[in-house]
Amino acid sequence: MIYGPIVPRTQDGLAEVVLRAPERLEGGLQTVVEGLRLGEGILVDAVARDASGLPVLLFLAPPPDDRSVPARVVEALSWFDEFGAALRDVLQRRAVRLDRGVRAIVACFDLTDTTLRRLRELADPRITVLRLEPFQIGGQRDVGVVPLLDHGRPHLGARVTDAGLPSALDDYPRARRFLDLIDRLDPVIEASGDRYRRSFSYRGTALATLCRVDDVVEVRFAGAAPLPLREEADVAIAFDRVARRYLASQRRSREDSGPTSSAERPSGPRGRAMGSTDPHVDQRARRPQPTALPDDESRGQDLVGREPRRHLRPAAYDDEFADSCGPVVEAPERSERRLQSGPDDFDLPILEP
């Protein structure tokens, strides 16, 4: 059997991948114009609109004809800086704004060392270079994106603190508050994405994606409608959902790890502080076991004046945990609970589902 490439590594193959699905390159990217020529014949393969409505120039660099790409990028950016207003009417009809400049994305299957070095030497934060790696799973074709030059994308496996907020979300305090809560939940949580989104995952389990669409910041969950962060209460609701997914992932991790020795096995599903990353570490002291009393009379005397033991349900734990924990008595007259992680309390209430 003879195997061929999933996508032809040509100009047409690259255009098919980029122009039909530009959101693969960056979240919220939409193609609005194809085949633009400027000034003295400067070729721009396409103009796209990013998640905030700003223009992005798309350049295709098929191997080995990529030597002209650096010059094309520089000339096109310079032309827009000087004459971009000439395209204002055309682009505004496509909901593209020209009030904050323009960026450029170079897409390639592979790039020669000389071309990549020349692009890096430009040291222009407006220029992004992405390598595309097509693949196929179960007959469905897809493409992976490997950043070669990107000032707004965290490195693979980055922690939440290292990744920080995307540059497009710096001016949104609720987005920063949400990111801070995710970081305090567990430092093991990883963050990925680009300048308009951050996706959070815990040991391979997707938790949520924080992104910006036009001027709205929202949190997206798999299988649920996006949740806009319009008020502080929305931040609490979004973080509560993340915490529940995080705890469910920890439970599955314990189940997959199998039985442990009696010295290592936790005393119960609620025996760990939520911030612990080790599924076999018990964070509370073991409860003393009751001792048998000699007869009914002495048993009755021993219990005089003692209150029955009450168990308060820990905040933000799934209902499935409570089934194996015995009777639960809720704290009276409280409509909200607080999530604990180690010795410190989160100062944000966790709302009831």
User: What digits encode the pLDDT tens for the residues 287-319?
Assistant: 455 554 445 444 444 444 444 444 444 444 445
- Residue 84: Cβ within 10 Å count: 16
The percent of residues in the chain predicted with pLDDT above 70, rounded, is 68
C-beta separation of 258 from 274 below 8 A: no
Strand partners, 137: 140
Highest mean pLDDT among 41-50, 150-159, 188-197, 289-298: 41-50
* pLDDT score at 4: 52
Strand partners, 53: none
**How confident is the model over 78-113, as pLDDT tens digits?**
999 888 888 888 888 888 988 888 999 999 998 889
C-beta separation of 219 from 227 below 8 A: yes
Confidence of residue 215 (pLDDT cuts 50, 70, 90): confident
Task: Return the minimum-mean-pLDDT range out of 5-19, 43-57, 138-152, 282-296.
Answer: 282-296
Domains present along the chain, CATH in parentheses: 11-149 (3.40.1350.10), 156-271+334-353 (no CATH)
Nearest one of 162, 157, 160, 221 to 186, comparing CA atoms? 160
* pLDDT score at 154: 63
Distance CA 159, CA 171 (A): 21
C-beta separation of 235 from 215 below 8 A: no
- In sign, the C-alpha dihedral spanning 98, 169, 33, 226 is negative
How many Cα atoms within 13 Å fall on the side-chain side of residue 12?
1
Give the CA radius of gyration of the chain: 27
Measured in whole angstroms, the distance separating CA 341 from the mean position of its chain's CA atoms is: 21
Amino acid at 311: H
Strand partners, 59: 106
* pLDDT score at 5: 60
Strand partners, 6: none
Helix axes 113-122, 69-83, angle to 10 degrees: 30
* pLDDT score at 204: 85
Of residues 327 and 200, the one with the higher pLDDT is: 200
